[in-house]
Amino acid sequence: MTVAPEEGLVVEGLRKRYGDHTAVDGVSFALAPGSSLALVGESGSGKTTTVRMLVGLERPDGGTVRLDGRDRSTRPRGRAERLARAREIQMVFQDPYLSLDPRVTVSGCLDEVLRLHTGLDQGARRTRVAELLDQVGLGAREASALPRGLSGGQRQRVAIARALAVEPRVLVLDEAVAALDVSIQAQILELLATIRRESGIGYLFVTHDLAVVRHIADEVLVLKSGQVVETGPTARVLEAPEHPYTRLLLDSVPRRGRRPADR
């Protein structure tokens, strides 16, 4: 019998304490390559803390994070391993304005990432920058613009292009469309869906918006006080929630095409 190598992201018993408060309390889940998982839960339930541990912005107090069988929970051995880990899981934040350098143009920003993470020469980088901009639907005008010269939706496209530049295995999006108005949100979600189909990148989507969950996620994981209370395929969890807390979450947001009185 041949055993398939473990593929994708596997999180087991992840734990984080701040003082005597346990923010993340034994969270486990798996994300297969090319699949999409939404992390939902009320404010303070530990969603951001969980994903910050995955990308390496926080050190877990317990548990393991493995990507394609490689352990990411241990301290990286040297710069090469640190960079490799940074490439593998990329994060897109709610407000790209905070993570984009206001003095660097869009193409300059993408070029910087390619210089740090790839061995491409200047010509190859220029080609790749054009490819990335095209992939996220930005053109020459945006390429030479500074962040402040872009709309919120365009800035989020830049943030996505920057994440894609290093060819990650997993993209973590923490409320990445929450600040955008609904029609721009729909465009960005459409773009993300296309990228996922074409690239096979796995998505971990933190959101409080169940319309977004329905649109983007294959599976949902519900967090409450740092613990997983329910997980399953999106349609099943949204249509037939098993845990009372999930039902509470669903009832606390207006559903598209349904007035509160209809429930």
Ligand X SMILES: Nc1ncnc2c1ncn2[C@@H]1O[C@H](COP(=O)(O)OP(=O)(O)OP(=O)(O)O)[C@@H](O)[C@H]1O
* Residues at the contact surface with ligand X, assessed by CB under 6 A: 18, 21, 23, 41, 43-49, 208
Number of residues forming the site for Mg ion (CB under 5 A): 1
Between the CA of residue 56 and those of 1, 33, 85, 94, 107, what are the distances in Å?
A: 36, 20, 8, 18, 26
Q: Which of 168, 161, 190 is nearest to 96 (CA)?
A: 161
* CB nearer to Mg ion: pick between 36 and 48: 48
From Mg ion, ligand X, none, which one binds at residue 18 (CB under 5 to 8 Å depending on kind)? Answer: ligand X
Of 55 and 113, CB closest to ligand X: 55
43 binds, among ligand X, Mg ion, none (CB under 5 to 8 A by kind): ligand X
Question: Shortest distance, CB of residue 241 to ligand X, whole angstroms?
Answer: 18
**If contact means CB under 5 to 8 A according to the sort of partner, which of ligand X, Mg ion, none does residue 46 touch?**
ligand X
Instruction: Return the number of the residue (99 or 199) whose C-beta is nearest ligand X.
Output: 99
Give 48 or 156: the residue with its C-beta nearer to ligand X.
48
Closer to ligand X by Cβ: residue 48 or 90:
48
Residue owning tokens 């880990």: 85
Q: Closest approach of Cβ 83 to ligand X, in Å? A: 25
Residues 40-69 that bind Mg ion (CB under 5 A): 48
Q: Which does 45 bind (CB under 5 to 8 A by kind): ligand X, Mg ion, none?
A: ligand X
Q: To the nearest whole angstrom, how small is the minimum distance from the Cβ of residue 62 to ligand X? A: 15
Q: Residue 21 or 141: which CB sits closer to ligand X?
A: 21
Q: Decide which of Mg ion, ligand X, none touches 157; Cβ closer than 5 to 8 Å per partner kind.
A: none
- Report, in Å, the least distance between residue 156 CB and ligand X: 17
For 160-198, letters b (16+ CB in 10 Å) and e give: bbbbbbbebbbbbbbbbbebbeeebbeebbebbeebbee
CB nearer to ligand X: give 216 or 249.
249
Please identify which residue in the block is written with the tokens 């992201």.
9
Residue nearest to Mg ion (CB): 48
Strand-pairing partners, residue 43, are none
Give the sheet arrangement for strand 89-92, strand by strand: 89-92, 170-174, 202-206, 36-40, 219-224, 227-233
Residue 248 site contact among Mg ion, ligand X, none (CB < 5 to 8 Å, cut-off depends on kind): none
β-strand 62-67 against 9-18: which pairing, if any?
antiparallel
Tokens of 247: 């039902």
Strand partners, 31: 9
Residues lying near Mg ion in the complex (CB under 5 A) are found at 48
